[in-house]
Amino acid sequence: MSVDFGRDISVTDLLRTGRFATGTQLVGEACYRRLTTPRGMLRGGEDEANYGIDLTELIGESRPSVIAASLPGRIKNELLKDERIQTCEVELTVSTSGPSTSFVIVIEVTTAAGPFALQILATDVTTELLGIT
């Protein structure tokens, strides 16, 4: 039995009119938006008020070692709020170049439609989706 998560316009960093996402691609894009939306930015009720964490804000607020220790748990907790996600594992790779620190975040997600991996590059300035596979 296949699971249908529906279809929506493909949106990561920008709206792609005429391009749609389905299945695990749709859920992967939703995960990325959840990790790049500052908490409290969505209008609505309690669920919307508790939606999102802004990776760039989190990365810019503390020392890299503190971030590396806390970020996987925070990401996992945020993504598991999505009822389509059954399990989620997060791995970080930290790179430092002078005063700049970047994190490559690999997230392994399992849904009823199958597994996928999400790769994100995050710094205190930008967040970039490297891929959904």
**How many of the other CB atoms lie within 10 Å of CB of 14?**
7
pLDDT digits (tens, 9 = 90+) for 9-40: 888 877 777 889 999 999 999 999 999 999 99
CA-CA distance, 68 to 57, in Å (whole number)? 14
pTM of the entire structure? 0.90
pLDDT recorded at residue 63: 82
Q: Which domains does the chain have, with CATH numbers?
A: 7-132 (3.10.450.40)
> Can you tell me the mean pLDDT for 56-61?
82
d(CA 10, CA 62): 33
Tokens standing for residue 93: 């790779």
